Amino acid sequence: MMLHTFNSSDAYRMHGHRASAEDLILLIEDGVFITTQQDLTEDKRIRVLREDLAQRGLPEPSAITCITYSDWVRLTVESQHCLSWTR
């Protein structure tokens, strides 16, 4: 399993398809806005960083798993690679 982080909508649009079925996708920084732009509820690989949502005044989407920094650390340890897609 690999952890793909996306820090913007652009990065997700360009590289979102690179995450395979067994990978996880974590939305951070301005990447959290993707939750307001498209319906991600069907994609069970998606995680969103709770703190970055809160800092931007966005509500926590009910159907998407929101995680803390501690969870992020745990996922990092569990992943073979962490791929940081930035824009």
Partner 1 sequence: MTQLLFILSHPPGSSIYAQEAFDAALAGSAFSNIAILFVGAGCLQLIEPKLAVEAHQRKDFQRGFRALPDYHVHDVYGCEDSFNQFGLHNQVLVIEPTLLTQPDIAALLKRAQRVLCF
Confirm or reject binding of residue 14 to partner 1 (CB under 8 A): yes
* 78 in contact with partner 1 (CB under 8 A): no
DSSP string across 31-83: GGGHHHHS--TT-TTEEEEHHHHHHTTPPPPTTSEEE-HHHHHHHHHH-S-EE
Q: Which stretch binds partner 1 (CB under 8 A): 13-21, 30-38, 41-49, 54-62?
A: 13-21
Q: Does 15 bind partner 1 (CB under 8 A)?
A: yes
| Residue 70 CB contacts under 8 Å (≥ 6 apart), including other chains | none
Nearest distance from C-beta of residue 63 to partner 1, angstroms: 27
Interaction of residue 81 with partner 1, rule CB under 8 A? yes
76 binds partner 1 (CB under 8 A): no
